[in-house]
Structure 1
Amino acid sequence: MEVEELCLVIRRTGEVGEDGHVSVTFGQLFETYVTISNKVVGILLRARKHGLVHFEGEMLWQGKDDDVVITLLQ
């Protein structure tokens, strides 16, 4: 499933914060994940809907939102 694959990519490329959650910037995730799928934003939105990730804002745009932090919740 694409959402599970995305979570694995976040876990591999992100860094563990003080709260124990793994986080990655959208720019870093996009660069890593775009080679796997060009649907990264849609998959991120689905993952958030299922409570797997958290990020600020309704939508993420390449370039404009590269510094937005995406946190893996599980």
Structure 2
Amino acid sequence: MFCGHELCLVIRRTGEVGEDGHVSVTFGQLFETYVTISNKVVGILLRARKHGLVRFEGEMLWQGKDDDVVITLLE
């Protein structure tokens, strides 16, 4: 099940508003927060990007290696 709405709420709560008005959070911050909710955070992020809800660089995200990748909420 795609939990994009829940993911967006977590990003909104844990992220910071940038100069462009969008809320952003690093993958490391999001992973640490969201892993307690769901261990499928990467799959949910990929589906959220496909639906135009978030933006981030790269094709796949890996815990540890990609902790500094910024995830931006687009809605």
| Alignment RMSD (CA, Å) | 0.2
Deviation at 1:16, TM superposition (A): 0.1
1:12-61 CA distance string (max 9 Å, x none): 00000000000000000000000000000000000000000000000000
| TM-score, structure 1 as length reference | 0.96
How many matched pairs? 71
**Aligned-residue identity in percent:** 96
Query: Runs (4+) of structure 1 moved beyond 6 Å?
Result: none
Give the whole-Å Cα distance in 2 for the aligned partners of 1:65 and 1:35: 19
Q: Which runs of 5+ in 2 are unaligned?
A: none
Measure, in 1, the Cα distance between the counterparts of 2:41 and 2:8: 11
Give the TM-score taking structure 2 as reference length: 0.94
State the distance in 2 between where 1:19 and 1:6 align: 20
